[in-house]
Amino acid sequence: MRQIEARGKGMWARVMEAVGRAGRARKVAVGLSGGADSVVLAEAVWLSGAKPILFHFNHRWRGRVGDADAKWVEAWGKKRGLRVVVGRAPRAGRTGEGEARELRWNFFRQAAKRCGVKELWLAQQADDQAETVLMQLLRGAGPDGLAGMGERSIQAGLVVVRPLLGLTREEVRRAAKEESLDWREDTTNEDGRGWRSRVRRKVLPYLAKSYGREVRGALCRVAEIFAGEREHWKKELGKIAVRPDVREWRKKTVAWQRRAVRSWLERMAYWGANHFEIEGVRKLVEAGSTACWQLRGGWVKRSKNKLFWVREMGRIAKRVRR
């Protein structure tokens, strides 16, 4: 019989409290890589009384080791009577981090649709948040990028819940040890080839040493501040029309236009637009005639003072002439 209440007063109790505050839907999925963070989250959700479906994606970066991780996750779920859905990258070998992320999210979206799941719980914690904010800053991201990851957000058509953002990586591992949980170590997180692993192992420690104090907490506070800004702008913009009228948008400030473009693209299910794409669409607002702008996952057309979203790959769009 499962134990529903948190055990003890240590770090595991804090994990259970965080999961409890995040709420519980009837049918949820938990992303389970096999690492310490995801194992802690999956165990806590299961002990809270839910019966989550476990999603595991094998990027096929590590050959037999990656296959062994997938089998370990399947055995972990079977021991608890939980369904496990495993996805695999189409090709073996290391890819870029962006491509890997896109493949993983495509799997999450498709698996959720097949399983009838509306909520996906993920195990990112405060260290992940700090790394994300710093990486976004170095990429030249705007306020939404600096808001980092939200505890509850909409992504790829799913409600994404991240209950562990208030805990550090070390605290999550302490909770795993308190609960005597086993996990799998992913050596690619420490090999230095990935941008995130370099930020984690070199950039953040260097900044902390040079600055004379820990910077992760400050970066997390930046995310909290800009998350509040993001919520304000959602109310300020209101509901964006499916085919917005550029004559109305042209009257607004540049900041308003940028926010509106991003909000509109997200309504069209186009997530993660970069600055170049946002500015390209914004130029359509300022343009005086029919024109279009190519994005990674489709294109935007301006016609008769309206913006249209077309999900069509491979079409070369005309650059807007000013």
Please give the chain's pLDDT, 322 residues, in tens.
344 344 446 999 999 999 999 987 678 999 999 999 999 999 999 999 999 999 999 999 889 999 999 999 999 999 999 999 999 999 988 888 878 888 999 999 999 999 999 999 999 999 999 999 999 999 888 888 899 999 999 887 799 999 999 999 999 999 999 999 999 988 776 666 778 889 999 999 999 999 998 899 999 999 999 999 989 998 999 999 999 999 999 999 999 999 999 999 988 888 778 888 999 999 999 887 788 899 887 899 999 899 999 876 444 444 444 4
The confidence score (pLDDT) of residue 260 equals: 95
Q: Which domains does the chain have, with CATH numbers?
A: 11-204 (3.40.50.620), 238-310 (1.20.59.20)
The confidence score (pLDDT) of residue 1 equals: 34
3-state secondary structure of 19: helix
The confidence score (pLDDT) of residue 192 equals: 64
The confidence score (pLDDT) of residue 97 equals: 81
The confidence score (pLDDT) of residue 86 equals: 97
Measured between alpha carbons, how far is residue 178 from residues 8, 11, 171, 174, 272 in Å?
Answer: 9, 8, 10, 6, 37
Long-range CB contact pairs, 303-308, < 8 A, 24+: 305/245, 305/246, 305/247, 306/243, 306/244, 306/245, 306/246, 307/243, 307/244, 307/246, 307/264, 307/281, 308/243
Q: What is the pLDDT of residues 274-298, one digit of tens each?
A: 888 999 999 999 887 788 899 887 8
The model carries a pTM of 0.83
Tokens of residue 225, six digits: 């501040």
The confidence score (pLDDT) of residue 191 equals: 65
The confidence score (pLDDT) of residue 174 equals: 97
Tokens of residue 114, six digits: 């097949």
Cα–Cα dist 293/319, whole Å: 6
Q: What is the pLDDT of residues 82-129, one digit of tens each?
A: 999 999 999 988 888 878 888 999 999 999 999 999 999 999 999 999
Tokens of residue 156, six digits: 């790829």
